Chains A and B, each alone.
Chain A
């Protein structure tokens, strides 16, 4: 994985800057076109409205103005999505390749709902599932796939008259990572945020053990010896020894550190030699700058630097969890 400051500035000068210049020109063209369309629609719509008003047709007179608004909205939608497509396709694709030549970026694809369900990280299945910005490939010896994911569930309600209505709630929103783990294992081990024990102490732990016995979580509760880790997480596994084979004292420390770095309630699942990581965040990663960004904003190195940081953050899991150390039988 490359990414030193020198390498980046060279890459920026040689490859990105020419593209960014032509993109900036295109962006300005697009905003101009949007300005023209807006002006034209307002003028035409306004004139027609005035004419109709003169003909005394009542509220119907506002119809052309409404039509003009619709045209403006559609024009914005088309131009903004084309801009985003161009930016992601031409800039982010190259940036991902710069970070590692073995990675590929596909803005419209995402981690499948099936994979999300397979992770067993969330206790219910999503009713609505979306995502974008898939990054796929290898970092060192570790194969991984990651994307933004937004999973929601639906709750039915009935009002006092017995009418049914539904509300949507977020199950998970953030970065979802599926990576090849550096050890072989067969069972399921889940590392989930610990809420019960931090609230209820010893009794909370008893409840956690019970929830495994009742089949709400796979396997049984695993009590680990690192007190900081135990405070932050609860662990369930189908195999007590395998859970400890995966969660070595050093990996527990690394997971704690990773949690601090992400500053969020991360969840990890270890299933059949694969690692699933869910990092909840409300930040929209790898999003194109606004179509109406100030002139020249795009050409500032900080603008692109931000994307590099986002990318390094998303891929940090490999180094943070030491996935490239392959000293065991798995190569």
Chain B
């Protein structure tokens, strides 16, 4: 082996090593981006699960309170209608979230209206449904926050150096976080409602 071929071999090894290292770094970044993207999808499905639970609860809730709440017919009808729209399969995603937000607002007003019906508040079945609804709303809030945290993490990764290069190669784009509505931001103190 001549000196020249020796040098060539060394530089080839260096080149190969460098390329391998780059490949490993690229793979690591690629995989972490995929993991973050999946985390977002997973968190989104967490929201979905709770929304479905809420859809399942509503008919039962409406049926229970209807006998007591004569003056809230309009509100109950609105809730039933919103639920029907929310579960219809051909609703686009953006509109669906609006419908769910409206449903949240309507359910909250229903829970406030309940305070005017002492008989209802003594109904064991209703109390059970109310606790379940509180549970779902609490889980829903948690799922939304988890989703927002996952999205923030993901957005940071696709905008920060050096993962932003890999992300643009993969064609990943920013996602938007859930904006809490005005009413939601003023955290409803459910405990307070119970004390009245």
Interface residues of A (CB under 8 A from B): 183, 222-225, 240-245, 248-250, 322, 325, 327-329
Q: Which residues of B contact A241 (CB under 8 A)?
A: 43, 46, 139, 142-143, 146
Instruction: Please state if B131 and A240 are interface contacts (CB–CB under 8 Å).
Output: no
Instruction: Please state if A244 and B187 are interface contacts (CB–CB under 8 Å).
Output: no
Q: Is chain B's interface secondary structure helix, strand, loop, or mixed overall?
A: helix
Among the stretches B9-17, B89-97, B148-156, the one at the interface with A is B148-156
Q: Which residues of B contact A250 (CB under 8 A)?
A: 187
Encode B131-149 as 1/0 by CB contact (under 8 A) with A: 1101100110111011011
B194 adjacent to chain A (CB < 8 Å): yes
Q: How far is B42's CA from A240's CA once the two chains are assembled, in angstroms?
A: 10
18 contacts between A and B (CB under 8 A): A224-B145, A224-B149, A225-B145, A225-B148, A225-B149, A240-B43, A241-B46, A245-B138, A245-B139, A245-B142, A248-B142, A327-B131, A327-B190, A327-B191, A327-B194, A328-B131, A328-B134, A329-B131
Q: How far is B136's CA from A329's CA once the two chains are assembled, in angstroms?
A: 9
Q: Which residues of B contact A244 (CB under 8 A)?
A: 141-143, 145-146, 149
Q: Which residues of A contact B131 (CB under 8 A)?
A: 327-329
What is the interface size of chain B, counting residues whose CB is below 8 A from a CB of the partner?
24
7 A-B pairs closest in CB distance: A245-B142, A244-B142, A328-B135, A241-B146, A244-B145, A240-B146, A329-B135
Instruction: Please state if A248 and B146 are interface contacts (CB–CB under 8 Å).
Output: no
Instruction: Please state if B149 and A223 are interface contacts (CB–CB under 8 Å).
Output: yes
Least CB separation from A244: chain B residue: B142
Interface residues of B (CB under 8 A from A): 39, 43, 46, 130-132, 134-135, 138-139, 141-143, 145-146, 148-150, 152-153, 187, 190-191, 194
Instruction: Please state if B187 and A249 are interface contacts (CB–CB under 8 Å).
Output: yes
Least CB separation from B137: chain A residue: A328
Q: Which residues of A contact B153 (CB under 8 A)?
A: 223
Given known pairs A241-B43, A241-B143, A249-B187, the reply for A328 and B149 (CB within 8 Å) is: no
Instruction: Please state if B46 and A248 are interface contacts (CB–CB under 8 Å).
Output: no
Q: Which residues of A contact B190 (CB under 8 A)?
A: 327
Q: How far is B189's CA from A250's CA once the two chains are assembled, in angstroms?
A: 10
Q: How far is B113's CA from A189's CA once the two chains are assembled, in angstroms?
A: 36
Q: Which residues of A contact B130 (CB under 8 A)?
A: 327
Least CB separation from A183: chain B residue: B138
Instruction: Please state if A327 and B134 are interface contacts (CB–CB under 8 Å).
Output: yes
Q: How far is B43's CA from A243's CA once the two chains are assembled, in angstroms?
A: 13
Q: Which residues of B contact A243 (CB under 8 A)?
A: 142, 146
Instruction: Please state if B138 and A328 are interface contacts (CB–CB under 8 Å).
Output: yes
- Closest chain B CB from A281 CB (angstroms): 30
- Closest chain A CB from B61 CB (angstroms): 14
Instruction: Please state if B148 and A248 are interface contacts (CB–CB under 8 Å).
Output: no
Q: How far is B46's CA from A322's CA once the two chains are assembled, in angstroms?
A: 26
Q: How far is B150's CA from A327's CA once the two chains are assembled, in angstroms?
A: 28
Looking at B142, B143, B150, the one whose CB has the most chain A CB atoms below 10 A away is: B142
Q: Which residues of A contact B143 (CB under 8 A)?
A: 241, 244
Least CB separation from B130: chain A residue: A327
Q: How far is B145's CA from A28's CA once the two chains are assembled, in angstroms?
A: 63
Q: Which residues of A contact B134 (CB under 8 A)?
A: 327-328
Q: How far is B144's CA from A242's CA once the two chains are assembled, in angstroms?
A: 12
Q: How far is B142's CA from A127's CA once the two chains are assembled, in angstroms?
A: 39
Besides A183-B138, A223-B153, A327-B130, 18 other A-B contacts (C-beta < 8 A): A223-B149, A224-B145, A225-B149, A240-B39, A240-B149, A240-B150, A241-B46, A241-B139, A242-B142, A244-B145, A244-B149, A248-B141, A250-B187, A322-B191, A327-B131, A328-B131, A328-B138, A329-B132
Q: How far is B132's CA from A327's CA once the two chains are assembled, in angstroms?
A: 9
Least CB separation from A325: chain B residue: B191
- Closest chain A CB from B161 CB (angstroms): 13
- Closest chain B CB from A194 CB (angstroms): 17
- Closest chain B CB from A331 CB (angstroms): 8
Least CB separation from A249: chain B residue: B187
Least CB separation from B153: chain A residue: A223
Looking at A223, A249, A325, A329, the one whose CB has the most chain B CB atoms below 10 A away is: A329
- Closest chain A CB from B82 CB (angstroms): 24
Q: Which residues of A contact B141 (CB under 8 A)?
A: 244, 248
Q: How far is B50's CA from A242's CA once the two chains are assembled, in angstroms?
A: 13
Q: How far is B46's CA from A242's CA once the two chains are assembled, in angstroms?
A: 10
- Closest chain A CB from B186 CB (angstroms): 12
Looking at A224, A240, A241, the one whose CB has the most chain B CB atoms below 10 A away is: A241
- Closest chain B CB from A236 CB (angstroms): 14
Q: Which residues of A contact B187 (CB under 8 A)?
A: 249-250
Least CB separation from A329: chain B residue: B135
Q: How far is B154's CA from A223's CA once the two chains are assembled, in angstroms?
A: 13
Least CB separation from B50: chain A residue: A241
Q: Which residues of A contact B138 (CB under 8 A)?
A: 183, 245, 248, 328
Q: How far is B147's CA from A251's CA once the two chains are assembled, in angstroms?
A: 19
- Closest chain A CB from B179 CB (angstroms): 13
